[in-house]
Amino acid sequence: MKNYYEILEVDKNASQEVIEKAYKILAKKYHPDLKDNEVKRKYEEKMKNINEAYSVLSNSFKRREYDEFLQNENTPNRSSQNVQDEGVSREEYQNILRENYELKQKMNTIKKQSTNKNRNVANISNDNSQNADKGTIGNMAKILKEQIKGVMQPNHNTTNMQNNINEERKTKHDFKFYLIIVLIITLVCLVGFLIYQIPPVKVFFDNLYQENIIFQAIVDIIKNTITAEF
């Protein structure tokens, strides 16, 4: 079994920060693309081991499983000697430990899948229960809404009366609005006529009327309109 701590050149009790820093340093040092073709293959194998070690030690779950396996593999020689006395070689003993480690990983995977499946079933049940509750509440709300609508629905005669009142208010409002507009126009015309009676102002506008063709045309149009109206 490969010793991933030795491959990353860190202590067994190294923190995740130390492991990550060591990996970056080794990856930069042994990256095959930065080496000559003669040693590139050698560094590719070295880099493969470094990536494998980092993938295990950077994962807390995988690291814990690996530490347990490493601890079982490094049991005292007395246990190994007892196994050898029973006719089992050390290599076979290590294979048994490795198989136990792999079996334990599979059992953990199955346990996780079973937990997720149970969780999904529970979520589906909760959703169905919530949908049933929503359906019941929705029906009750619909019935209550119809009852309130029947009670609060206004009478047809009352509606017509309200419409007539609104029309009268609108008519009064429109009459006041037009009356104000007429008063403003009358006031502006009166003020303009009074200002025109001032001698300097009258001379100025008379000269402007004689000299400016556009102003003369505008004044003539206004005169003709007023004359036609009256």
The full length of the chain comes to 230
Counting the structural domains of the chain, the total is: 2
Residues 114 and 61 both lie in one domain: yes
Residue 142 in domain: no
Does 108 lie in the same domain as 54? yes
Q: Would you say residue 194 lies in a domain?
A: yes
Q: Are 19 and 98 in a shared domain? A: yes
User: What average pLDDT does range 95-100 have in this prediction?
Assistant: 68
Using a pLDDT cut of 70, give the percent of the chain over it: 69
Residues 12, 87 share a domain: yes
In a domain, 220, yes or no: yes
CATH number of the domain where residue 72 is located:
1.10.287.110
User: Do residues 117 and 11 both lie within one domain?
Assistant: yes
- Domain of residue 111 covers 4-121
Predicted TM-score (pTM) of this structure: 0.36
Which of these three, 65, 100, 121, is where a domain ends?
Answer: 121
Q: Is the pLDDT of residue 55 over 70?
A: yes
Domain boundary at 121, 150, 178, which?
121
Can you tell me the distance from the alpha carbon of 99 to that of 159, in angstroms, rounded to the nearest whole number?
Answer: 87
- Asked if residue 153 belongs to a domain, the reply is no
List b or e across 135-145, with b for residues whose CB sees 16 or more CB atoms inside 10 angstroms: eeeeeeeeeee
Statement to judge: residues 25 and 115 lie in one domain: yes
Q: Are residues 105 and 186 in the same domain?
A: no
Verify that 91 and 180 share a domain, yes or no: no
Query: Residue 185 and residue 206: Cα distance in Å, rounded?
Result: 23
Q: What is the DSSP letter of 153?
A: P
In a domain, 27, yes or no: yes
* Long-range interactions of 118-127: CB distance < 8 A, separation 24+: none
11 with 114, same domain?
A: yes
Tell me, yes or no, whether 21 lies in a domain: yes
Residues 84 and 185 in one domain: no
Distance CA(173)–CA(185), nearest Å, equals: 19
pLDDT digits (tens, 9 = 90+) for 7-28: 999 998 989 999 999 999 998 8
Q: Is 13 in the same domain as 107?
A: yes
Domain closes at, from 92, 121, 150: 121
pLDDT top residue among 4 and 98: 4
Q: Is residue 137 part of a domain?
A: no
Could you read off the pLDDT of 149-197 as tens digits, one per residue? 665 554 555 666 777 777 777 777 778 888 898 899 888 888 877 887 8
What pLDDT is stored for residue 98 in this prediction?
Answer: 67
H or E stretch covering 142: helix 90-152
One domain for residues 33 and 99: yes
Whether 128 is covered by a domain: the verdict is no
What average pLDDT does range 103-129 have in this prediction? 73
